[in-house]
Each structure stands twice: as structure tokens, then as C-alpha cells.
Amino acid sequence: MSQAIRYVRYGGPEVLTLDDVPLPDPGPGQVRVAVRATGVNGIDWKLRSGFMDRGRRPVGPTGVGVEFAGTIDALGAGVGSGKGVGGWSAGQAVFGRVPSGAAATHVLADTGNLLAMPDWLSFEQAAALPVAVETAWRALRELDVTEGHTLLIHAVAGGVGLVAAQLARARGVRVVGTASQARHDFLRDLGVRPVEYGEDREDREDMAERVRAAAPEGVDAVLDASGRDVLAMSVELAGGPDRVVTIADGRAAEYGVRFSSGVGGSPLEEVFAEVLPLLERGALRVPLERTFPLERTADAHRLSEQGHLLGKIVITVP
């Protein structure tokens, strides 16, 4: 028997329940992973609330969670045994992503969305990486920022924002980021020029001036990871909508801005070929805002919905 966090109707965190479910069997090209930790992302509570389905009811019990770390405990047909390229083995520590259902004691994962976990990573750290790292890496590729450019990141202290900022800095890009005042010292230590958030329309107008003061050389590109009505300002600062990408504002088309949805996603092997060496030598950090046990997934969702986080929320599985 396995356990999984699920919901049968859309709503707030209170709709989540911890259910006993049959132990899943891996199909061809899959492995079953005994989950040790799973990350929490904005997409989790947006799906749970029905925001993505425009009021339609979910079809049966639905799991939550799209990234995980754990150990392989069963191999599907066609999955090579033994470590190395194309080979996986029972007991091997791994991390990766799935379409849904990672908040559980066991999850099925396609091997193409799986990576071997280095021994210098903890399960909690590894579970925080796949979504934030792939999203940040993809957004920087779409913006095509290179050495000497100045990048503005809205919500730079969140998981995606922090990874994008550090990746950009490693590539020689200047980074300006909007964040709450309490995060500014941490951001300066990363080489980011922090700017205070604009909480309302009037303050956002002042925020544009604060950005200009922090980046007198001008802004070459903008990554919006906040979804807090900053697209018009971002287009103005960057000099055009083609220099702005959002991962959080569904009104992107109204402003001619690209919405990076990550459907399909970039190959994790390609993404982490650049990122793992940075993580190992401490040139990239993804702090954990807080961890919760599996049975308190609803509390993790509540905290995620509040925003203003530093890094990621992670759920641990005994």
C-alpha cells in the first residue's frame, strides 16, 4: 500500500487529503520511486484551486506535486539495470519531475525525466531543484541575455527568481531584482541589486524609478516571476515586449509579452549539465524557506500562496 495527497474537488488547501492508494506498478520505460521529499510550486495550488481548468470539476481523485527526490524501488520493462548512461538500479538515489502526484510515498517517473542524485545533495535540496532550475534556465534562454546585459527579475527571492539570478550572474549578466526589504541583504550577497516591491499601482510607478536608479545603464530584458501586474512597466523599462518573459501572468498576450509555460520542458540532462557543477562548488544556492511533513501538505500550500518566500518549500516523506 502507498499513500498520496489528493483532492476530489477544487478549492482551498482544506480540500487536500492523505489517502491510502494501491502501490503503483511501473510501466515500460518507467521506474517507481520511494519518495523522500517533494517540492512545492505555484502550479500545485493553481491546479488544486481550479484556476487552470476554469471551473470544470476534476475527473476523479487527483494528486499534487510535480518534482521529487527519493530512491528507486522498482524498474519497468525496458529499463536497463545497473548505474551509468541508460541504466538504473533499485536503491539508487534520484530526483526528477512528473506531471502530477509527487506528494506521495511512491511515484512513477519516466526515466527521461529522471537524474541520478549526487551524494553531496540531500533529498530535500534535490527535491527543490527540478522546476525552479528548468524554468529559470529556459527563461534565460528565451531572453537570450549574455555577458554585459542587465536583467530585471520580478520576485527575485523566490525559487525561480533566485536560480535565474545566479545563473545570469555566472554568465556575466548584471541582475536587478524586486523583492521585499527583508531579502535585500541576502540578495546583495549574491551580487543582485535589490529593489523594493511595489504593492499597489501608485507604488509600482515609484518602483519603476527605483529600478532606473538601480540600473542607470538601462534594462535589457525582464523576467516576471511574480505575476503582480508588472508587465506594462516591464515593457517600458526593457524597451519593447519582445524583451520581456513572464512565467506568472496569464495576461501576457495583452501586452505582447511571451508567456513561458514550460509545456514539455527542457531536457533535465541538458539543464543540469550546467547547473550541477555550480551547485557543487557553491556558486548557486536554493535555500529552503520551510519544510513540512507529508500530512501537512495543506499548510505548505497555504504558505506558498502567501508569497514573499526565500527559495523553496519542501515536503518531507518518512
For the cut 90, the answer to whether the pLDDT of residue 201 exceeds it is no
CA distances from 112 to 85, 90, 255, 262, 314 (A): 11, 17, 35, 16, 23
Cβ pair 206, 223 in contact under 8 A: no
For residue 84, what pLDDT band results from cuts at 50, 70 and 90?
Answer: very low
For residue 253, give the CATH number of its domain: 3.40.50.720
Considering the entire predicted model, what is its pTM?
Answer: 0.93
* pLDDT confidence of residue 199: 67
279 assigned to some structural domain: no
Say whether both 138 and 180 belong to one domain: yes
In tens, the pLDDT along 92-111 reads 999 999 999 999 999 999 99
For residue 197, what pLDDT band results from cuts at 50, 70 and 90?
Answer: confident
Domain boundary among 221, 239, 259: 259
Those residues with Cβ within 8 angstroms of residue 174's Cβ, 6 or more apart along the chain or in another chain? 148, 149, 150, 151, 193, 215, 217
The residue assigned the cell 519544510 is: 291
* pLDDT confidence of residue 80: 72
276 assigned to some structural domain: no
Q: How many domains does the chain fold into?
A: 2
Domain boundary among 211, 240, 259: 259
In tens, the pLDDT along 259-315 reads 998 777 789 999 999 999 999 999 999 999 999 999 999 999 999 998 888 999 999
Range 8-18 average pLDDT: 96
Say whether both 36 and 111 belong to one domain: yes
* pLDDT confidence of residue 57: 78
For residue 119, give the CATH number of its domain: 3.90.180.10
274 assigned to some structural domain: no
Say whether both 300 and 242 belong to one domain: no
The separation between the first and the last C-alpha atoms of the chain, rounded to the nearest angstrom, is 15
Which domain range does residue 163 map to? 132-259
292 assigned to some structural domain: yes
For residue 83, what pLDDT band results from cuts at 50, 70 and 90?
Answer: very low
Say whether both 55 and 170 belong to one domain: no
* pLDDT confidence of residue 56: 72
For residue 85, what pLDDT band results from cuts at 50, 70 and 90?
Answer: very low
Say whether both 235 and 304 belong to one domain: no
Cell numbers at residue 66, please?
510535480
Say whether both 230 and 115 belong to one domain: no
267 assigned to some structural domain: no
Say whether both 190 and 139 belong to one domain: yes
100 assigned to some structural domain: yes
The residue assigned the cell 527559495 is: 311
- Least confident interval from 47-51, 83-87, 123-127, 249-253: 83-87
Say whether both 115 and 210 belong to one domain: no
Domain boundary among 244, 259, 274: 259
The residue assigned the cell 499601482 is: 201
209 assigned to some structural domain: yes
- Least confident interval from 55-59, 73-77, 180-184, 205-209: 55-59
For residue 86, what pLDDT band results from cuts at 50, 70 and 90?
Answer: low
In tens, the pLDDT along 39-82 reads 999 999 989 998 767 667 778 899 999 999 999 999 999 897 65
Say whether both 100 and 7 belong to one domain: yes
- Of 50, 15, 38, 52, the closest CA to residue 101 belongs to 38
In tens, the pLDDT along 110-159 reads 999 999 999 999 999 999 999 999 999 999 999 999 999 999 999 999 99
Say whether both 110 and 7 belong to one domain: yes
Say whether both 23 and 122 belong to one domain: yes
- Least confident interval from 182-186, 187-191, 199-203: 199-203
Say whether both 184 and 121 belong to one domain: no
d(CA 99, CA 91) in angstroms, rounded, equals 23
229 assigned to some structural domain: yes
